Structure 1
Amino acid sequence: MSILSRTWTSSHPPTAPKSTNPPPVRFGILGAANIAPSALILPARSCPEAEVTVVGARSLEKAQEFAKKNGVAKAVQGYEAVLSDPEVDAVYNPLPNGLHYEWTMKALQAGKHVLLEKPATNTAAESERIFALAKEKNLVVLEAFHYQFHPSAQRLKEIINSGELGGVQKITATLTAPGGFIKPDDIRFQYALGGGSTMDPGCYLTSMSRFVTGREPDSVLSASPVFQNKEQEPQIDRKMEFTLSFPALPAEVEGPTADCLCDLSTPWWGPFGLIPPMPDMSVRVQCERGEATLSNFVMPSFFHGITVSGPAGSRTERVYGWGKEGVEKGWKGESWWTTYRYQLQAFVDKVQGRVPQHWISGEDTVGNMRCVDMVYEKSGLGVRPESAFKL
């Protein structure tokens, strides 16, 4: 399937008839967020066991406009109206980072499963409380690190784990966006709402580094921020460069490191600053006997490449499906499925009591938030503020 065909089909997915046994998981969306169509609404269209039934926003007019534009049956005013809706089984929470904790706790208290945008919370302690309540209520919470559900990221990890290239020594992970696409007044640049580059693209890098190594970092060796507007927001990083150190395994002399670079607004360059920089969404894993690089790990369904150099020579793999093993194990997927569609399938499987192909545990989420906290502490900016909400 070509890049044009995949792109078209993923943005215009076929409409699947909804299942009756079991009935579909009915989703309510908190807020008229820009990410919701690609992260949930379009994926749900092709999923027989998922249905978006309602969206709630602070403004009823905004909710109605969003619902009409995206084909959602019902619009309501306020987030509480979504949580109290008896026809909602699960909530999608794409609110600003600083509101994740409050509204996820309220959703769990209301008996709803939660698909929670990343980063899960402002602090690791908040994440711990969310998963403690989810366990108590026997409900599902999934932090939406969608890239992990795609075959390409899993193939990268499989190559590393195979031992083909030897032990991991160094990871270089980068996630940057050109300047101008995120406006200066964006919520990502507001400390009170849990903003900062490390909380947005940076949390992908901590996640990917931990995913590839299968370890938790024991220290942050360095963390250097570049401010968005130091006078107005002295604790907000537009860019962060940081290095994680991971513990050594028994057979290793020293553990691997991860050099990470995230930037929400990379400056333009060239004559008069008229040339925009290309986005960089890559991870390179250097090992004892070679290396492997995955390009475009955030949106691999459109295009990507896994370039491997080792004792057997060099090759490039492109992985848009599960292959023979996946077929034999009954893993669901199509070459045009986005990372979000794979993620939705896993979430639905978990809610329906099945074993998903891949999962991100509560321990994993807490570990990632702990890593983000460590980066901010090392940088001198301090962790993001905890929510004032008390259950």
Structure 2
Amino acid sequence: MFSWLSTARRLYSVFVGPPSLATPSSTSPPIKFGILGAAKVASTGLIIPALSHPEVEIHAVAARDPIRAEAFAKKYKLRTFYGGGDAYQKLLDDPEIQAVYVALPGGLHYEWTMKALAANKHVLVEKPSSVSSEQTREMFEFAQKKGLVILEGLQYRFYPAIIRAKEIIDSGELGAIKSIETIITGPQGSLKTDDIRYTWEIGGGIFQDMGTYPVNVLRYFTSSEPTSVLSASYTAHPNDPKVDQAMTTTLAFPGDVVGSIELNFEIPYKFGLIPSLPKMDVTVKAENGEMTVKFFVLPFVYHSINVSVKDGQSGKGAKKRTEKVYSPTSVKGRTLKGEEWWASYRYQLEAFVDKVKGREPDTWLTAEESIANLQTIEKVYEKAGLPPRPKSTFAFSPITDDSIEAKRTA
């Protein structure tokens, strides 16, 4: 049941701390995590969700700035921190750490994910998995070879509301899909001009980063891959014409389905004074009705699933309803683990731990999904006339089945 009280409780648990701390499991030792990068996302993405998970312990953080690393460790009461130019490698060399959360810029994901896997650590890597579908494939293949778990952090996919929306589509209630429209926008100033997402050398481009969400939801809701990119246009960043700060694209899917994406965090202020409200919506239009999921990227903050089904008897009007799915028990036909105050990041952590522990998670993102998502992003950039994002120059050469040598290429 949605209420302002439950919303406040949920948001408090996401950004401050859970209602109650977990008691460590006596039968399943906790997985000790290390965090690469003292980024803000590490708090909501891992540290706070871990407080309510009995099988997770955050052991250490690493940052190249020693002062920042120490401050981060003190703030979140971590036992260990590593700072300096070799901080990341020191964390990977820590024998107590079993899993690594990669919270670095996307252009560094390949290098440090491969190094983490080489150090026999499981990896939860923030989206995008890397800036190259080819290098993402290498990451997953290497993890499989090593018998390790790797997951791209597309957190929204683990939330009950998104699972319910997919359930509605698959039920056939709306009929065959005709089109899907996605929009993710925010007012000017949402991202600073020097935001790390706009740095070309490490995979800069808003579509490379935030485009991960709309591309994924189109593929997820259609249960298919795009057959072609019909159109793509962008607005260049003022500091670098190779970097996009807005993108609009249309994709063709099997069955004459058209998917569209509008991604723009530079929406002008109304009358020069009033900022536009953020939009994160996806609308499915089908032969027998339509469905809009509001705020699908961050459904734990707020969402609504608005369904309109044509009245088949009268042929006039439509039957409308709104669903809000904050509790896993609201997803029909499935018994999911979770609490109403869990954020999507908490569900994601639950799935990752289940996988590491050899249990079957409620929801999972496969290697094929992460690879295909980047392949679509690459095709959109090509259609827009932009060069592919620069691959990591870090290369790996196998030595034995159990170790690899890393070297920097020219």
Does 2:367 align with 1:362? yes
Q: Deviations over 1:43-78 (max 9, x none)?
A: 000011111110000022110101111222211121
Distance of 1:350 and 1:90 partners within structure 2:
12
Deviation at 1:329, TM superposition (A): 6.0
Q: Helix, strand or coil: the match of 1:300?
A: coil
Does 2:27 align with 1:24? no
Q: Deviations over 1:128-177 (max 9, x none)?
A: 10011011001111001100000001111100110001011100111122
Aligned to 2:252: 245
Does 2:378 align with 1:379? no
Distance of 1:170 and 1:330 partners within structure 2:
30
1:1-391 matches, within 5 Å, as 2-11=6-15, 12-13=17-18, 14-77=20-83, 78-229=87-238, 232-248=239-255, 255-270=256-271, 273-311=272-310, 313-323=319-329, 331-391=336-396
CA, structure 1 residues 329+278, in 2 after alignment: closer, same or farther (shift >3 Å)?
Answer: closer
Q: Helix, strand or coil: the match of 1:284?
A: strand
Amino acid in the other structure paired with 2:352:
F
Amino acid in the other structure paired with 2:88:
Y
8 Å CA contact retained: 2:59, 2:97: yes
Deviation at 1:330, TM superposition (A): 5.2
Distance of 2:351 and 2:358 partners within structure 1:
11
CA, structure 1 residues 133+278, in 2 after alignment: closer, same or farther (shift >3 Å)?
Answer: same
RMSD of Structure 2 on Structure 1 (CA)? 1.4
Structure 1 unaligned regions, length at least 5: 249-254
Aligned to 1:251: none
Distance of 1:36 and 1:324 partners within structure 2:
29
8 Å CA contact retained: 1:176, 1:201: no
Deviation at 1:178, TM superposition (A): 2.0
Q: Helix, strand or coil: the match of 2:362?
A: coil
Distance of 2:81 and 2:266 partners within structure 1:
34
Deviation at 1:324, TM superposition (A): 6.5
Distance of 1:364 and 1:24 partners within structure 2:
28
Distance of 1:266 and 1:188 partners within structure 2:
18
Structure 2 unaligned regions, length at least 5: 312-318, 397-410
Q: Helix, strand or coil: the match of 2:180?
A: strand
8 Å CA contact retained: 1:19, 1:49: yes
Deviation at 1:201, TM superposition (A): 1.7
Amino acid in the other structure paired with 1:360:
L
Amino acid in the other structure paired with 2:113:
T
| Structure that is richer in strand per residue | 2
Distance of 2:334 and 2:168 partners within structure 1:
20
Q: Which aligned segments of 4 or more residues in structure 1 are displaced greater than 6 angstroms?
A: none
User: Number of paired residues?
Assistant: 380
8 Å CA contact retained: 2:328, 2:340: no
Deviation at 1:266, TM superposition (A): 2.5
What is the TM-score when the length of structure 2 is the normalising length?
A: 0.90
8 Å CA contact retained: 2:164, 2:331: no
Distance of 2:363 and 2:337 partners within structure 1:
11
Distance of 1:257 and 1:181 partners within structure 2:
29
Distance of 2:265 and 2:202 partners within structure 1:
16
Deviation at 1:302, TM superposition (A): 2.2
8 Å CA contact retained: 1:101, 1:127: yes
Distance of 1:81 and 1:18 partners within structure 2:
27
Distance of 1:264 and 1:193 partners within structure 2:
20
Distance of 2:90 and 2:186 partners within structure 1:
35
Distance of 2:153 and 2:186 partners within structure 1:
20
Q: Deviations over 1:341-361 (max 9, x none)?
A: 000000000000000000000
Amino acid in the other structure paired with 1:264:
F
Deviation at 1:179, TM superposition (A): 1.7
Deviation at 1:191, TM superposition (A): 1.0
